[in-house]
């Protein structure tokens, strides 16, 4: 089980074997670093479920895309690989991505992987 103390500490370096420093450094997945971390992300996703949106953002870094959904849901999107979004952020990208859905009280309730454009 994960436990985090964030108030005065720096962001964690790892969760399980997922290297969060590498994850956070690959903005937009444009360096293709996150693609190599996908298997480790899959292994720890059950540990992320139920975490607060602030804690998840602190660990994984700012999302590549943030969307608001119905009933105060929020979605964080992290690209796992290069795509058209790397050269033109206004284009819808079919690159592989992980989508985190947070419920109305800000808890991570679902993690999905998707390759179709948003």
The CATH number covering residue 23 comes to 3.30.1450.10
Residue 5 falls within a domain, yes or no? Answer: no
Q: How far is CA 57 from CA 54, 60, 78, 91, 116, in A?
A: 5, 5, 11, 24, 23
Q: Please give the pLDDT value at position 6.
A: 47
User: Count of domains in the chain?
Assistant: 1
Q: How far apart are CA 30 and CA 97, in angstroms?
A: 12
Residue 1 falls within a domain, yes or no? Answer: no
Residue 42 falls within a domain, yes or no? Answer: yes
Residue 78 falls within a domain, yes or no? Answer: yes
What pTM does this model have? Answer: 0.88
Domain that holds residue 69: 14-114
Residue 9 falls within a domain, yes or no? Answer: no
Q: Please give the pLDDT value at position 8.
A: 52
Residue 7 falls within a domain, yes or no? Answer: no
Q: Are 50 and 108 in contact (CB under 8 A)?
A: yes
**Could you read off the pLDDT tens digit of each residue along the chain, which spans 118 residues?**
444 444 456 677 888 999 999 999 999 999 999 999 999 999 999 999 999 999 999 999 999 999 998 888 999 999 999 999 999 988 899 999 999 999 999 999 999 999 888 7
């Amino acid at each position: 089980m994960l436990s985090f103390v964030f108030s005065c500490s720096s962001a964690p370096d790892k969760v399980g074997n997922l290297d969060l420093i590498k994850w956070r450094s690959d903005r937009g997945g444009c360096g293709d670093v996150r693609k190599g971390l996908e298997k480790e992300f899959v292994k720890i996703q059950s540990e992320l479920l139920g975490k607060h949106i602030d804690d998840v953002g602190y660990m994984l870094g700012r999302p590549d895309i943030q969307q608001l959904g119905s009933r105060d849901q929020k979605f964080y999107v992290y690209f796992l690989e290069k795509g058209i979004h790397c050269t033109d952020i206004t284009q819808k990208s079919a690159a592989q991505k992980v989508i985190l859905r947070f419920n109305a009280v800000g808890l991570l309730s679902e993690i999905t992987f998707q390759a179709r454009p948003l």
